[in-house]
Structure 1
Amino acid sequence: MARDPDTIQAEIERARDALAITVDQLTVRANPKRVVDQGKARLQATLNDPKVKIALAAAGTLVAVLIVRRIFR
């Protein structure tokens, strides 16, 4: 059964609009500045976690002790 040309045209326009919206959303999501800002925010949140601060301090102390031992050996 053949479809009405006006119906086909309306479907094409709806598909085109949906595609334009999808492309706009992808453009926003893939914006490099936005991606970098999100990465920075995630890193700051991770580094502000007390468990991570303690682990980094312990690792830094261990490295310092090993360097001092190596120097005065």
Structure 2
Amino acid sequence: MARDTEAIEREIEAARNRLASTLDELAVRADPQRLADNAKQTVMAKLNEPKVKFSLIGAGAVVATLILVKIFRR
């Protein structure tokens, strides 16, 4: 009977350790600063793609030109 009790206690302790490990991992994954950093890295990587970068530069040039035309037409 004593062995059964000890085995149960070891199983409970092992389950507690697994639960603590899982909770620690969830805390790391759900860290708002980490999530924000990952999102920032993803956006920066996308913006640094040549196709996207040059499209944005072109759009900015068109907008700037339209603004200048509107200002100097007065």
Using structure 2 for the length normalisation, give the TM-score.
0.74
* Partner of residue 56, structure 2: 56
Counterpart amino acid of residue 42 in structure 1: T
Structure 1 runs of 4+ aligned residues shifted over 6 Å read 65-72
* Partner of residue 44, structure 1: 44
Alignment partners' CA distance in 1, 2:4 and 2:63: 76
| Unaligned runs of at least 5 residues, structure 1 | none
Superposed CA offset, 1:39-70 (max 9, x none)? 11111111111011122233334555666788
The structure with the greater share of residues assigned to helix is 2
Superposed CA offset, 1:5-45 (max 9, x none)? 11111001000000000000010110001111111111111
| Unaligned runs of at least 5 residues, structure 2 | none
Map of 1:1-73 to 2, 5 A cutoff?
4-63=4-63
Using structure 1 for the length normalisation, give the TM-score.
0.74
Alignment partners' CA distance in 2, 1:19 and 1:55: 49
Counterpart amino acid of residue 30 in structure 2: A
In the alignment of these two chains, the number of paired residues is: 70
Alignment identity in percent? Answer: 50
